[in-house]
Structure 1
Amino acid sequence: MASVIYLMCAATALACAILVLRSYRASRHRLLFWCGLCFGGMFLCNVLLIVDRLVLPDTDLSTVRLAAGLAALLPLLYGLVWEDE
């Protein structure tokens, strides 16, 4: 059951990244670009969670997952603080 939830979370993050980046391509609002990168990073974080929990259960990848989560949030933080419309 957990594997289904992990896959659904990863698919949702990927769908959000694709939709937000498509919207950015149509409107060229810079904040959409940063949000799309954030969702792409969240997808990567979810994939790392799947690898950590299901593929390599004996290996602890929690530090890598946390670093990926931080890296996913940094573009959004940059966009919110330093981008002006």
Structure 2
Amino acid sequence: MASVIYFLCALTALACAFLLLRSYLRQRFRLLLWSGLCFAGLAINNMLLVLERIFLPQIDLSLFRLLSALIALLPLLYGLVWEEE
């Protein structure tokens, strides 16, 4: 059951990234871009979790997951702090 939940979380983050980036291409509101990039990174983070927990349980990918989460949040942080509109 846990593997299904991990996979659904990755799929949801990927869908959110797709919808946000598609909305950015239509409306050109920059916060949509930063949010879409953040969710794309979080989808990668969730895919690493699926890879670690289901396919490669003997390998510890926690450092890569933490780094991907940090990198995923940086565009959103930039957009919230330095973007003006």
Deviation at 1:63, TM superposition (A): 0.7
Alignment of 1:63-74 (within 5 A): 63-74=63-74
Q: Percent identity?
A: 64
Q: Report the counterpart of residue 4 of structure 2 in structure 1.
A: 4
Deviation at 1:49, TM superposition (A): 0.2
For structure 2, which runs of at least 5 residues remain unmatched after alignment? none
Deviation at 1:16, TM superposition (A): 0.3
Deviation at 1:80, TM superposition (A): 0.3
Q: Report the counterpart of residue 55 of structure 2 in structure 1.
A: 55
TM-score of the superposed pair, with normalisation by structure 2: 0.98
Q: Which runs of 4 or more aligned residues in structure 1 lie more than 6 Å from their structure 2 counterparts after TM superposition?
A: none
Q: Report the counterpart of residue 81 of structure 2 in structure 1.
A: 81
Deviation at 1:59, TM superposition (A): 0.6
Residues of 2 paired with 1:57 and 1:7: CA distance? 15
- C-alpha RMSD of matched pairs (Å): 0.5
TM-score of the superposed pair, with normalisation by structure 1: 0.98
Residues of 2 paired with 1:43 and 1:69: CA distance? 9
